[in-house]
Structure 1
């Protein structure tokens, strides 16, 4: 009996663990696409593009002082961790006329970290609303054309999120007011999409070398 128990511990348990984690990789190795073909930022001033970038997309609105805390949370919990990745960027959509307030925010963020991959784009009220509507989420913009939620957009301009979130079911965005949401969910999902692209790149490189 003792020998049998030892054999189970040495051989069966590792096999079960392997199958469990292998299954997890297959099921959770990709972040689900929730909305396809989000428009490029052609109607916005500022120079940022969504194509070929992993983008954290946010809407600051025209009350930027009110959203500063959200920006700081995003900077500390997400940007500082992933901002060094070449294809990663943050794009904040702002109504026209807020350029000076944005520069103040950029300087404040610069006291916490470099801001090379923080981008701000400016558009009309109609353009801001149209871009947000194109995400096709269950969320809404505030009266000031802003929201505390940010969204993960992949290199092909698809909105990524969760279809089986334990709290929300379908999870379109991440609440920058909630450090827990950023720490416990958004950080994991950004890791997944970055790993997805790294694996894809390695596969392409391996195919070329064969």
Structure 2
């Protein structure tokens, strides 16, 4: 008995504790709404919509060659982990004229994973600026109309993020150039919002049965 107890403490308990704390972030609270309503994509591309989807939204700009690292980070750390969910998608806004480059990028990403839920929306530069401004964040686009930050948009077009982030206070977006930030913050926040919708779906199904 004593040996079994020692083995449990040494091997089983650490695993149980890890699973408890790793999943705990999903089980409590909701991901704060930072912007109540952001514009949908209808005017820029009628084939892509944010409404009724959980979207990771980004802006690749005109220099896609220098954004490949960030795109690969996002694909490996976030998309490959959550892309299996039916309502999950990645949408990248890109200035018109970069269609060939984005298709090449999508092809390269496709060598590492399925990319059927990666979408690219093309718009004139002034529309890209206007759309980004409509997000209402505290961030700016670079001179090439890109940002390393991506944003979580929920099914009701609300921008979700953190209002008590230990580093930034209010955190609107996640820096795709930082693997640590994707691993330590964005993974948790995407888990939370997916858990919200799973719980809401279970509740709706339960209410229908009553």
Q: Which residue of 2 aligns with 1:209?
A: 209
Deviation digits for residues 31-85 of structure 1 (CA, Å, limit 9, x no counterpart): 0000011111122137211000000000000111110000000000000000000
Q: Which moved more, 1:118-127 or 1:85-94?
A: 118-127
Q: Which residue of 2 aligns with 1:57?
A: 57
With the length of structure 1 as denominator, give the TM-score of the two structures: 0.86
3-state DSSP of counterpart to 1:137 = coil
1:53-132 equivalent positions in 2, closer than 5 A = 53-132=53-132
Indicate how the Cα distance of structure 1 residues 27 and 190 shifts in structure 2: closer, same or farther if over 3 A, else same: closer
Q: Which residue of 2 aligns with 1:15?
A: none
Q: Distance in 2 between matches of 1:46 and 1:75?
A: 24
Whether the 8 Å contact between 1:43 and 1:123 is mirrored in structure 2 is no
Indicate how the Cα distance of structure 1 residues 124 and 28 shifts in structure 2: closer, same or farther if over 3 A, else same: farther
Instruction: Answer with 1 or 2: which has the greater Rg.
Output: 1
Q: Which moved more, 1:28-37 or 1:54-63?
A: 28-37
Deviation digits for residues 72-101 of structure 1 (CA, Å, limit 9, x no counterpart): 000000000000000000000000111000
Q: Distance in 2 between matches of 1:184 and 1:205?
A: 33
3-state DSSP of counterpart to 2:89 = strand
Indicate how the Cα distance of structure 1 residues 80 and 165 shifts in structure 2: closer, same or farther if over 3 A, else same: same
3-state DSSP of counterpart to 1:47 = coil
3-state DSSP of counterpart to 1:189 = helix
Q: Any unmatched runs of 5+ in structure 2? A: 1-20
3-state DSSP of counterpart to 1:142 = coil
Q: Which residue of 2 aligns with 1:170?
A: 170
With the length of structure 2 as denominator, give the TM-score of the two structures: 0.86
Q: Distance in 2 between matches of 1:199 and 1:183?
A: 24
3-state DSSP of counterpart to 2:31 = coil
Q: Any unmatched runs of 5+ in structure 1? A: 1-20
Q: Distance in 2 between matches of 1:26 and 1:85?
A: 16
Indicate how the Cα distance of structure 1 residues 61 and 26 shifts in structure 2: closer, same or farther if over 3 A, else same: closer
Q: Which residue of 2 aligns with 1:191?
A: 191
Q: Which residue of 2 aligns with 1:31?
A: 31
Cα deviation, residue 25, structure 1: 7.4
Whether the 8 Å contact between 1:153 and 1:159 is mirrored in structure 2 is yes
* Ranges of 4+ aligned residues in structure 1 off by more than 6 Å: 24-27
